Structure 1
């Protein structure tokens, strides 16, 4: 298997506070990963580093390779064209007046609006992607009138327009009701089964969102890796309890992990 991501000896410090400490992580072809941790665990910082927006502390012997390209000897602007990143902050950057089909096609140019001329095949490709994600019916709507769940499918479609080899889904179910969440997770699961599709990293702190297509999990806590490996070996009572700071019990159902408290908690001051 080839390396999609290789991170070694990575440290990151901000205002004398260590945000990431001695991170080691490998993602290989054929794997889809869930990245799990509480807010402030360092997930977003690590992802920004993988995208080349932040740099490790110098002098630590840090190595970052993404899609076979080693940082320090690669044009990051070109590399980012092969990485799709879907997050709420990007969704907020889209004008509500744009039509959905234009929003999706803009992904080809990595812009937040459609300012370049497009070919018929671009529109056809956008429609195919929207159809696969169950959002074809939104194509001619204005982006601003779409539901939150529809917007997430549209933003994933936009990311797929550039044929990324790596797709990062940063808490895509935030703000969704249970119906919209399950509908989106079905679409993500189907996307992961497509031949020649992108390697996916799914960022969350809700364990039940890790759908069956995800093969591996990375648990982070206070800027460190608690565990990384196949999800059945990582998403366990002991490791999750340590990573999330609660006495948790894991139950598996329909290929997904569901957690519950093992004991009643006391109010902490």
Structure 2
């Protein structure tokens, strides 16, 4: 299989400002990656490029074996699930959990098609897989933030994506909700038909062991790329943050502390 994502010397400029510069990055088949960077580092711009919403000023991008610019992005996006908290604002709060999930098959906000019975069966199976089957028949607006995130993941999985992007999935969650969501993501990764996953965060402790590779992005440039345990060291992250930090590993996750 071709690389899941391949960026070759990608640069993006806007209004005379260079937002991304010289990005070289390859996600190979069978790999799950973490994209780690502080606010303003260029993470969202990178994701918009992967999804073909903006185009590089320089360089080439390949996603799921297709060169962007020579493929119908509407078709390619059907193979990419992008879970972002910004999507929550666009959804209809009165939709039931299962209707919201089924709408992912049609990539629509709201449900305008007449789904088949097997669509709802699949939606319920996804809810069970993500440990949120208790939300069946609940309206979306009555769900907690953590529950909403699980429903969004299920919605993205409804279309059987080959690439699943989890963009700040734990943003705004309390400790218990965050750990519950991370448990569900870990379980999802163990499924034989799991999509390739890209987990985007600015919290090292959210990077689960399944994300064996990490890209560190700082000020629009690649600061480091490779095996996660080689990227998340005290020495490297002290340079990354430009301040001394300690890294304590617990349950194969990296927890930061000020040195």
Under a length normalisation based on structure 2, what TM-score does the superposition of the two structures give? 0.98
Deviation for aligned residue 1:220: 0.5
Residue 224 of structure 2, aligned match among 206, 227, 245: 227
Deviation for aligned residue 1:236: 1.0
Q: What residue is the counterpart of 1:24 in the other structure?
A: 24
User: Equivalents in 1 of 2:115, 2:36: separation in Å?
Assistant: 38
Contact 1:31–1:199, Cα closer than 8 Å, also in 2: yes
User: Equivalents in 2 of 1:246, 1:37: separation in Å?
Assistant: 15
Q: What residue is the counterpart of 1:3 in the other structure?
A: 3
Residue 87 of structure 1, aligned match among 84, 89, 96: 84
SS at match of 1:220: strand
Instruction: In structure 2, list runs of 5 or more residues that go unmatched.
Output: none
User: Equivalents in 1 of 2:79, 2:16: separation in Å?
Assistant: 33
Cα deviation, 1:98-127, whole Å, max 9, x if unaligned, reads 100000000000011111010000000000
Residue 134 of structure 2, aligned match among 126, 133, 137: 137
Contact 1:37–1:244, Cα closer than 8 Å, also in 2: no
Q: What residue is the counterpart of 1:266 in the other structure?
A: none
Are residue 179 (structure 1) and residue 176 (structure 2) matched?
yes
Deviation for aligned residue 1:245: 3.0
Q: What residue is the counterpart of 2:44 in the other structure?
A: 44
Q: CA RMSD in A?
A: 0.9
User: Equivalents in 1 of 2:225, 2:215: separation in Å?
Assistant: 4
Deviation for aligned residue 1:55: 0.7
Q: What residue is the counterpart of 2:124 in the other structure?
A: 127
Deviation for aligned residue 1:92: 1.2
User: Equivalents in 2 of 1:119, 1:245: separation in Å?
Assistant: 54
Under a length normalisation based on structure 1, what TM-score does the superposition of the two structures give? 0.94
Q: What residue is the counterpart of 2:56 in the other structure?
A: 56
Are residue 191 (structure 1) and residue 180 (structure 2) matched?
no
Contact 1:252–1:258, Cα closer than 8 Å, also in 2: yes
Deviation for aligned residue 1:196: 2.0
User: Equivalents in 2 of 1:99, 1:127: separation in Å?
Assistant: 12
User: Equivalents in 1 of 2:183, 2:250: separation in Å?
Assistant: 15
Cα deviation, 1:131-156, whole Å, max 9, x if unaligned, reads 00001010210000000000000000
Cα deviation, 1:232-266, whole Å, max 9, x if unaligned, reads 1111112222223331111111111111111xxxx
Deviation for aligned residue 1:11: 0.4
Instruction: In structure 1, list runs of 5 or more residues that go unmatched.
Output: 263-269
Report how many aligned residue pairs link the two structures. 259
Residue 107 of structure 1, aligned match among 89, 104, 107: 104
Residue 244 of structure 1, aligned match among 241, 244, 256: 241
SS at match of 2:108: coil
Q: What residue is the counterpart of 2:154 in the other structure?
A: 157
